[in-house]
Amino acid sequence: MSIKYILTLSIPTLFSMNILTSSGQVLDKTSVDTNSTVFNDNFRVDPPYWWTGMDSQDVELLIYKEGVGESTISLNSTGASIIRAERAMNKNYMFITLRISREAKAGELNFRVTDKSGAEQSLKYTLREKSEMAFGRQGLTSSDFIYLLMPDRFSNGNLSNDNVLGMHDQSLNRKEMFDRHGGDLAGMTAHLDYLEELGVTAIWPNPVWENDEPKASYHGYAPTDIYRIDRRLGDAADYAEFVEQSHKRGIKVVKDIVYNHWGDQHWIYKDLPDSSWLNVWDDYTRTNYRAVALVDPYAAEYDKKQMTDGWFDRHMPDLNQRNPHLANYLIQHSIWWAGHYGIDSYRIDTYAYPDQLFMKELAERLHSEFPTLFLFGETWVHGTPVQAWFTESNGTLKSYNSDLESVTDFQLYYAINKALTEEGGWTEGMARIYYTLAKDILYQQPDLLVTFLDNHDLSRIHSVLGEDRNKVKHALALMMTLRGIPSIYYGTEIGMKNFADPDGKVREDFPGGWDGDAADKFTRAGRSEEENDLFDYIKTLANYRKQHPALFEGKFMQFVPTDNHYTYFRYTDGKRLMVSINYSGKTKDIDLERFEEILRGSTKARDILTGSIVDLTTTTIADKQMMIFEILAD
């Protein structure tokens, strides 16, 4: 099948999806949250405002209004000047590149817009001081512990926004997995104390921007306006309050963001500047999901093209980031969010699917403005070399540096799952973890990989491990003591379960997040004894990890698993931690002679979970047991 890029907007459909240039319909400004979108006399301008003193002096304004592309725009200002004005094929757009001088002061710019009839109109645009940016951008470090949640399914703090008149999806039914359930930003903010108690240092909600799709609009991954908070979650003030309250508790904020696609109700998609903003095929073509094609030295160009330019779904138009105006639009929106709200980190959804040179430029421009902003990409791939290819290059895998600090570590996720569900062998069982970590040579910063046991797309770890709470604890302890930035999915701390068949089953409501719930799992009294046991286990590990740099800054030493018995150490000059897990089917001795290079004669240790002192010369480890020891100097 040949690929065809459509260069005009006169076609009736793009693979029967009715992507027509509109007749010039202008967005109704009464339907727009003016906290996130600027409208002046029916002009839409993105970004809504900008700052002086930025690293880059230039910002490209997308100006939208019926017929604005046939107008002339001028500016008389001592602090800013128009260096480029470009018309789109669609006459409803104009792209203005504004150069802001180093001496420019905050204030209001007045553009003069002269239409084709000679009529003049004023368009105001605000510049703010860079010092007025919101606090944030602390970045993530290996000391952090991330909590991933789905806003619509976590807690309903404001009943008045459950349904919003005029939005496409009017569903509100907690019994239906693909309907909206009513969770929101107010509910998230109301339970920050709960997360603080658990030991969380960073919170990662699924996307909170507008997702005004007719069906399954709850998840946020098909955005329809990337400058606007979804009104069913709240508004710009609610999100700012959430960020502020998180920061007050020492909890960093991760924004989930998508560059690969939009929803088919996105306002720009419904009135495209030109069709080169999309990756378009003769017939609807889905991505092949084969990220390995980008790494494979033998890959066919067709497979690479299908990987990056194929669509995720019919209602998710695939964006062509090679279009310079679209690239600027996406990058500047990310700079704006970080500056406006004080975002600490971006988790980049479907990182492998957009144009990779664009992703490199994105990271470079974000880091030039915010050097501490932490970026990590979702790389749902198989094989460490493929996963490592997307990270900051160590010089062995590709010719350029992606400037991406981290990715989601699917390889360790696979290894931990296999280690706890299969028999041991030369490469099976605990050896899965050993071999996975041995490949860390391919990463520049393996300590910054974001590790996890499940998420909103995967079966919950509690179910994967046969609802064996002991195994769940072992999985959690492995994640919390191995290298990387650990993250858990909401509800893991109380043993929520289910398989992702479909994924809606692992996106259930958190019990207690809605008035009238049978039990409130946010409180100790509302949790069962077993749930409190698991909650306390995670809390103990998380808070111990915060206080002991050996677990996030220390070096790592692992020993080859023997008979499915695996032991490793985390250590600094002043602290040594020993982790041993036995799935051999029999009780094992602790082989002090084998570990002498790290024990250095020490024979005493403290169990970090119980506080008890143990004698390593007489200690044994039973089958299906895991021990975490702090080595004591004799």
For domain 555-632, say whether CATH 1.10.10.10 is its number. Answer: no
How many secondary structure helices (H) and strands (E) does the chain include? 14, 27
Cβ within 8 Å of residue 336, ≥6 positions away: 47, 48, 50, 227
pLDDT at 161 over 70: yes
What's the pLDDT score for residue 571?
Answer: 97
Q: What would the mean pLDDT of 548-574 be, rounded to a whole number?
A: 96
Residue 298's contacts (CB-CB under 8 Å, 6 or more residues apart) are none
Pairing mode, strands 120-128 and 107-114: antiparallel
For residue 428, count CB atoms less than 10 angstroms from its CB and return exposed for 0-12, middle for 13-18, buried for 19 or more: middle
**Residue of 512, 505, 476, 474 lying closest to 492 (CA atoms):** 476
What gap in Å lies between CA 236 and CA 214, rounded to an integer? 23
pLDDT of residue 99: 97
For residue range 244-278, what is the model confidence (pLDDT) as tens digits? 999 999 999 999 999 999 999 999 999 999 999 99
Helix pair angle (469-481, 529-547), 10° resolution: 10
**Per-residue confidence (pLDDT) for residue 194, from 0 to 100:** 98
Q: Indicate whether 533 pLDDT > 50.
A: yes
What percentage of residues in the chain have a pLDDT greater than 90?
91
How large is the average pLDDT for residues 439-459? 97
The stretch 612-630 carries a mean pLDDT of 96
Q: Please report where in the chains the tokens 């290996």 appear, as a residue.
A: 142
What is the pTM assigned to this prediction?
0.93
The 10s digit of each residue's pLDDT in 10-61 is 222 343 333 322 222 222 323 334 344 445 568 999 999 999 999 999 999 9
Q: Is residue 144 scored above 80 in pLDDT?
A: yes
Q: How far is CA 270 from CA 9, 32, 321, 329, 569, in A?
A: 12, 16, 18, 16, 56
Q: In which residue ranges of the chain is CATH 2.60.40.1180 found?
A: 555-632
d(CA 237, CA 158): 13
Q: Which residue is it, tokens 């002090």?
A: 592
Best CA proximity match to 567, nearest among 543, 552, 547, 584: 584
- Residue ranges, comma separated, of all CATH 2.60.40.10 domains in the chain are 32-132
pLDDT > 70? residue 210: yes
Give 207's DSSP letter. Answer: P
Please compute Rg for the chain using Cα positions: 26
Question: What's the pLDDT at 560?
Answer: 98
pLDDT score, position 11: 27
CATH code for the domain defined by 32-132? 2.60.40.10
Pairing between strand 120-128 and 50-51?
parallel
What value does the mean pLDDT take over residues 164-193? 97
**Tokens coding 40:** 């002046």
Residue 634, pLDDT > 80, answer no
Is 114 within 8 Å of 122 (Cβ atoms)? Answer: no
pLDDT at position 631: 97
The pLDDT of residue 41: 60
**Average confidence score pLDDT of the chain:** 92
Q: Which two tokens stand for residue 177?
A: 């997995």
Residue 269 near residue 317, CB atoms below 8 Å: yes
- Positions marked active-site: 349, 378
112-139: pLDDT as tens digits: 999 999 999 999 999 999 999 998 899 9
CATH number of 146-275+327-551: 3.20.20.80
Statement: residue 197 has pLDDT above 80: yes
Report how far residue 48's alpha carbon sits from residue 127's, in angstroms, rounded to the nearest whole number.
10
Residues in the chain: 634
Reported as a single tens digit per residue, the pLDDT across 475-525 is: 999 999 999 999 999 999 999 999 999 999 999 999 999 999 999 999 999
Q: What is the mean pLDDT of residues 379-401?
A: 86
Q: Is 310 helix (H, G, I), strand (E, B) or coil?
A: coil
Q: Which residue has the tokens 């008979």?
A: 563
